[in-house]
Amino acid sequence: MSSRHTPRDRRSTRWIAALAVLGLWASAGSEFAAAQTPDLDSLIERASSDRPAIDGGRGWSLAIDNDLFAPAQNDRDYTGGLGITVSGAQTADYWWSLDPLLGVVDHLLLARAADRSDMRVQHAVQVGLLSFTPQDLGTAEVNFEDRPYASLLFVTAARQHVAPDARSVRYSDLTLGILGLSFTSNLHDAIHKAAGSDTPRGYGHQISSGGEPTARYAIGGSTLRGLRLSLGSGLLETKTTWELSAGYLTEASYAASMRLGAINSPWWTFNPERVDYIARPSPVAHGRGSGLSELYVWAGAKLRLRAYNAFLQGQFRDSDHLFAPDEINHVIGEVWFGVTNQFLGGTQMSYAVRYQTAEIRDGLGRRDPVWAGVTISHSF
């Protein structure tokens, strides 16, 4: 079965990611000062005085996303994801870690960026997979009005640099993966059979079916905007984050997020905006002490200016079903709400629901995806 788009249409999208890389050196946008109030400094001192020194954030996390976790329980669009993250300085030395390659890319693209020599660096690596499906899973035929099947198996290395004043961070990450492997479809089939639901029948027409290498590089920065006492002894933290990326997702974005409640971990370990479907790797939260726990709610919003999405537009390998650039939305909004509970001993659990505006302009695929995820983490 052939695509409804011409090779010329596909070639026009395949070079977007490569061209975007050329502009990334200018990504060292200026950081603005955090919002101030007369008593903010005293609040920061109180909230931070007994926190540990900035360390490697040693620990692990397991993130599981599924649209069936959300209230609507729709098995479609971004239908599921899995991410296993290990953080700490030791991850840079793993034989399979991409950290050495990330260091090379950072040096080449950020040579003109602000000096990071006085910042403390934190490392993390992640392995995971993503899966996307149309609405009708029961047919093996292609529905050109809906999104194509797509999947990604990947590994990511991440670095985060915390400023000496602990009010801003810079980060970068590099992902290498393979699109279109049958492994993801086989796993999806097994999960559906175990749950007693219909198995997806259209993965034979997924993007880059049979496998195709892909990659993504992202850089960004976050700034602490406010830290206030609220609701008795609770704290309200707010921050903003900018990001640029090139690769299988090529976009620029800006986000604002907050958390409210009993907070005992550094603000730079709270990164709900670093999510491109599955949460990307970042340092594991580490509380102020083994005798303290956390319980807080959080929310945020993000605006994406997306130039290219391989999960809809494909790459160099021919695919049975693709969307042209004028058939997808390039401005995408996202909001989220979640709750986190950190138990004694450094174990933490989070639940989040996410809403995103439609990625496809017209037809059956013009839907606003909603999905939810559970993350379990543990710090050492």
Write out pLDDT tens, residues 230-248. Answer: 776 679 999 999 999 999 9
Residue 12: the pLDDT is 46
Count Cβ neighbours within 10 Å for each residue of 292-321 and write b for 16 or more, e otherwise. ebbebebebebebebbbbbbbbbbebebbb
Mean pLDDT, residues 100-126 taken together: 82
pLDDT exceeds 50 at position 365: yes
- Which pLDDT band, with edges at 50, 70 and 90, does 70 fall under? confident
What is the percent of the chain where pLDDT is above 90? Answer: 61
pLDDT band at 112 (very low <50, low <70, confident <90, very high): low
- What is the reported pLDDT for 67? 74
Residue that wins the pLDDT comparison between 320 and 72: 320
Give the CA radius of gyration of the chain.
21
Instruction: Extract the runs of DSSP E, i.e. beta strands, from the chain.
Output: 59-66, 77-87, 120-133, 150-162, 168-179, 212-230, 234-247, 249-262, 275-276, 278-279, 294-309, 331-342, 347-356, 370-379
Q: What is the mean pLDDT of the chain?
A: 83
Distance CA 40, CA 100 (A): 39
Does position 41 have pLDDT exceeding 70, yes or no? Answer: no
Burial class (CB in 10 A: 0-12, 13-18, 19+), 120: middle
Domain ranges of the chain: 7-379
Indicate whether 43 pLDDT > 50: no
Lowest model confidence (mean pLDDT) among 208-222, 256-270, 280-294, 318-332: 280-294
Has residue 221 got a pLDDT over 80? Answer: yes
In the predicted structure, residue 137 carries a pLDDT above the cut 80: yes
pLDDT at 25 over 90: no
Quick one: average pLDDT of 20-25?
A: 37
Burial classification of residue 1, based on how many CB atoms lie within 10 Å of its CB (0-12 exposed, 13-18 middle, 19 or more buried):
exposed
Q: Helical H runs in 180-298? A: 182-195
Per-residue confidence at 340, pLDDT binned at 50, 70, 90?
very high
DSSP-based three-state secondary structure for 21: helix
Out of 2.40.128.140, 2.70.98.60, 3.40.50.300, 1.10.3720.10, select the CATH number for domain 7-379: 2.40.128.140
Which is more confident, 361 or 263? Answer: 361
Length reported for the chain = 380
**Position 346 confidence tier, pLDDT thresholds 50, 70, 90:** confident
Residue 32 pLDDT exceeds 80: no
Task: Pull the structure tokens for residue 280.
Answer: 């990307």
Instruction: Look at residue 76 and tell me whether its pLDDT is greater than 90.
Output: no
The answer to whether residue 28 scores a pLDDT higher than 80 is: no
Residue whose C-alpha is closest to residue 169's, from 273, 89, 297: 273
Has residue 211 got a pLDDT over 60? yes
Between 125 and 186, the more confident residue is 125
Alpha carbon separation from 313 to 123, 139, 284 (Å, rounded): 32, 21, 34
More confident residue, 195 or 131: 131
- pLDDT score of 47: 44
Which pTM does this prediction carry?
0.85
pLDDT at 50: 37
Residue 33 pLDDT: 28
According to the model, what pLDDT value does residue 238 have? 97
- Comparing CA positions, the residue from 78, 17, 125 lying closest to residue 278 is 78
What one-character DSSP code corresponds to residue 115?
P
157 — pLDDT class (breaks 50, 70, 90): very high
Of the chain, the percentage scoring pLDDT greater than 70 comes to 79
pLDDT recorded at residue 68? 74
Between 83 and 229, the more confident residue is 83
- Mean pLDDT for the stretch of residues 114-128: 82
**In angstroms, rounded to a whole number, what is the distance separating the alpha carbons of residues 380 and 378?**
7
pLDDT band at 114 (very low <50, low <70, confident <90, very high): low
